[in-house]
Structure 1
Amino acid sequence: MRHDTPLDELPEDDRSGAEPPQPPQPPLLTRRVLTQTIALVTAALAIAAMVALPTGYVVRMPGPTFDTLDTTGTPVIEVTGAETFPSAGQLRFTTVSALGNRDAHVPVLRLVRAWIDPDEGVYPVEALFPAGTTTEETTQQSQAEMVTSQESATVAALRALGRTVNETLTAVATDPEMKAQGVVEVGDVLLALDGTPITSFEHLGEMLDAVVPGSAVTLRVERAGTPTDLEVVTSPAPAGSQVGADRSYLGVSVDRSFETDPVVTMHIDDVGGPSAGMMFALAIMDMLTPVDETGGQIIAGTGTMSTDGNVGPIGGITYKMRGASDDGADWFLVPSGNCVEAAGHVPDGMTAVEVRTLEGAYDAVVAIGEGRGESLPTCS
């Protein structure tokens, strides 16, 4: 007897002309979730790649501070050839730390954190590493500035105390547009001008200020060990100079070298720039005087120092004040040229004192140590 079987119940091989069965389709909601998941994963990967990408920016933040009077271990400042005196207080120089350079870029996520943090700042890499220079070149220049600042601070401090400072000016070049060209030679040591011994670069400038441009002067030099008198016709200030046109120039570039008594040596590693000069000078003066100028106070500050005792402005003043506050300083010596920038950013509990010269800064330290700090001019 014949039995007819429905086609869809036959084994697959026995179906003639029938479509193979299709796998069941996922519900519409499942497909939508899968699509959204893929989109989220893709976005997450894109964000992860973005935050890891290097950028052309650097982050600046408060750096460590250093007590210039610290004598534990290797002292920050070492004086040879004179008695020194301890201090119960601190004179801290301040720094700014930077994250990133031309060779190590900062990821976006770290920049976002710096934008949010009021104690940090974001800057184009060119602001700290000028175009056309390598990271190594910028670092070397910064270290050279630190060495120069130490020398200038030593000279300024010892001169302020009436200690021995012998300065030598040696010609290293002459201006081809001025009359000294062909008269003064490289290697000549400048000894006297019109019979008056030259005691410093600043002294030479003061004497030239009293000479009418175009006048002849007698410049005594030491050439190959022999004193020689040279007649040099002075020149007016070069075009574009910031000094007055009535100032006389020799047209000679000099190298300045110093011999001091006592001898001062600095021990600072991995810190560059010229901005610690003022605090170095104050520390030297404190160490060489019996009185404890600090009176046990923690005083921080910053500022360049010229050999004639002028305090110059620096960069990163707000970061330096914050770093000093974090390290316990209640007083901060601010160069006059940074006072406007500092105002409104002085940390709570800190007093920012305006200073212009080494003499003024020293007087401010003495006043703070004696409890008279509230009478000092401030930047806030």
Structure 2
Amino acid sequence: MLASTLTLITLLCVALLMPVPYSEMSPGPTVNTLGEHSGEPVLQISGRKTYPTSGHLNMTTVRVTSADFTMNLVEAVSGWLSSDEKVVKHDILYPKGQTAQQADQQNAEEFTQSQDSAKVAALKELGISVGGRVIVSAVVKGAPAEGVLHAGDVIKAVDGTTVKAAADVAKLVTKHQPGEKVVFTIVPVKNAGKKGAATEDLSITTKKSNDSGKSRAVVGIQAGVEHTYPFKIDIKLADVGGPSAGLMFALGIVDKLTPTDLTGGKFVAGTGTIDDNGTVGPIGGIDMKTIGARSKGAQYFLTPSDNCAEAAKDTPSGLTLVKVKTIGDAMDALKDIRTGNTAALPSCSAS
């Protein structure tokens, strides 16, 4: 009997400590985009008049276990029983085969893109013109363009045809047969920001594509658009990744550039991706973000419409969820909040 008992205890211990394919999410830090972080303003604008702000426009985050973290059954059960932690399948956060380094790089890239889109959306909302130029976003290792073109080079023309959009580059390159030469007219990245910088013509021999798409001529670059602004806008926030702060960054920029105090002194938090046209997109971990926001004192939470049903299932007491689809919706909601017309706020429902 003693041997059987010891064996059972041993088996139970092994079962409890065995690794399981799960990761954990919990409320992360929340930062006021109108305030300071680590001793310096989150939003820094120069070359344009700015105005005093009050209240909060907090971006929210989710803290997750790292890609290489191995959870055991005890930790999983503890997370399932907790009201402010969430256990999810590991592959939901980190697609199969993705390393910790790759996950960090992807999050950093998405965060950078979200900042750029937030600036564009904010300035468009204010009717301020935003410029743009087509650049080399990335060069594929081992491709014909490697060593010839570099990330950040401005693409002015391909084979003498002016490039106006990123998609123009691929269209012009694929007019060639593999093995033919294509000429890129560029401004090198080192001179990209200089007025009147000289261009260079660079010839690259195309090769046959080796992906699953239709066979075509390629040079091995990814073209993108780099926006140019009439004044300087810097977003200073380290140790944050992903695209979900876009909406709150955009609202913070608008608040600083307008005489109207958008929050009226109220504590507003929120989340949501944003594109150049001001459309707000869904994010992950909405329930963790509402918990984190309310714990810091948020009264209202700007919620992407596609996240509304999930957020409404378990809304923290004292927090009002506000449904938004665009930056315009968010601006309208902030007007209702600061004027006390809260009955007009579009709410989220669990259905």
1:64 matched residue in structure 2: 29
1:47 matched residue in structure 2: 12
1:224-257, CA deviations, whole angstroms, 9 ceiling, x for partnerless residues? 567xxxxxxxxxxxxx9xxxxxxxxxxx974101
1:125 maps to a residue whose letter is H
Secondary structure of 2:71's counterpart equals coil
Say if 1:187 and 1:294 are closer, same or farther in 2 by CA, change over 3 A: closer
* Residues 321 and 332 in structure 1, CA contact (< 8 A), matched pair in contact too: yes
1:366 matched residue in structure 2: 335
* Residues 134 and 154 in structure 2, CA contact (< 8 A), matched pair in contact too: no
1:86 matched residue in structure 2: 52
Distance 2:44 2:7 in 1: 61
Distance 1:163 1:71 in 2: 26
Secondary structure of 2:248's counterpart equals helix
Structure 1 position 325, deviation (Å): 1.1
Q: Does 1:98 align with 2:60?
A: no
2:303 matched residue in structure 1: 334
* Residues 135 and 225 in structure 2, CA contact (< 8 A), matched pair in contact too: yes
Distance 1:104 1:85 in 2: 45
Distance 2:342 2:124 in 1: 26
**Identity level (%):** 39
* Residues 66 and 100 in structure 2, CA contact (< 8 A), matched pair in contact too: no
2:141 matched residue in structure 1: none
Distance 2:84 2:24 in 1: 10
Q: Does 1:223 align with 2:175?
A: no
1:378 matched residue in structure 2: 347
1:156 matched residue in structure 2: 121
1:15 matched residue in structure 2: none
* Residues 99 and 106 in structure 1, CA contact (< 8 A), matched pair in contact too: no
2:35 maps to a residue whose letter is D
Say if 1:51 and 1:172 are closer, same or farther in 2 by CA, change over 3 A: closer
Distance 1:150 1:167 in 2: 15
TM-score (norm 1): 0.68
RMSD of equivalent CA atoms: 3.1
TM-score (norm 2): 0.74
1:113-159, CA deviations, whole angstroms, 9 ceiling, x for partnerless residues? 11112332222211111112211101110111001000110111122
Distance 2:329 2:15 in 1: 51
Secondary structure of 2:40's counterpart equals coil
1:259 maps to a residue whose letter is T
1:106 maps to a residue whose letter is M
Question: Which runs of structure 2 are paired with 1:203-352 in the superposition (5 Å)?
Answer: 223-224=185-186, 254-352=223-321
**Structure showing greater Rg:** 1
Q: Does 1:189 align with 2:151?
A: no
Distance 2:289 2:154 in 1: 42
Distance 2:81 2:242 in 1: 28
1:5 matched residue in structure 2: none
* Residues 168 and 190 in structure 1, CA contact (< 8 A), matched pair in contact too: no
Q: Which moved more, 1:137-146 or 1:73-82?
A: 73-82
Q: Which moved more, 1:366-375 or 1:252-261?
A: 252-261
1:52-86, CA deviations, whole angstroms, 9 ceiling, x for partnerless residues? 33222101122221111113621111112223223
Distance 1:359 1:65 in 2: 23
2:156 maps to a residue whose letter is V
1:123 pairs with one of 77, 84, 88: 88
Q: Does 1:108 align with 2:73?
A: yes
Structure 1 position 162, deviation (Å): 2.6
Distance 2:154 2:272 in 1: 33
Secondary structure of 1:88's counterpart equals coil
* Residues 57 and 100 in structure 1, CA contact (< 8 A), matched pair in contact too: no
Structure 1 position 201, deviation (Å): 7.7
* Residues 150 and 266 in structure 1, CA contact (< 8 A), matched pair in contact too: yes
Q: Does 1:138 align with 2:107?
A: no
2:147 matched residue in structure 1: none
In structure 1, the gaps of 5 or more residues are: 1-34, 174-185, 205-220, 227-239, 241-251
Q: Alignment length, in residue pairs?
A: 289
* Residues 325 and 347 in structure 1, CA contact (< 8 A), matched pair in contact too: yes
Instruction: Select the structure that is richer in strand.
Output: 2
Say if 1:129 and 1:42 are closer, same or farther in 2 by CA, change over 3 A: same
Say if 1:355 and 1:83 are closer, same or farther in 2 by CA, change over 3 A: same
Distance 1:171 1:118 in 2: 46
Say if 1:154 and 1:190 are closer, same or farther in 2 by CA, change over 3 A: farther
Distance 2:6 2:343 in 1: 61
* Residues 100 and 106 in structure 1, CA contact (< 8 A), matched pair in contact too: no
In structure 2, the gaps of 5 or more residues are: 139-152, 169-182, 187-197, 200-212, 214-220
Distance 2:126 2:117 in 1: 14
1:344-377, CA deviations, whole angstroms, 9 ceiling, x for partnerless residues? 2222221111111111112211221121222111
2:134 pairs with one of 169, 178, 186: 169
Structure 1 position 188, deviation (Å): 4.0
Distance 1:306 1:110 in 2: 37
Distance 2:228 2:154 in 1: 18
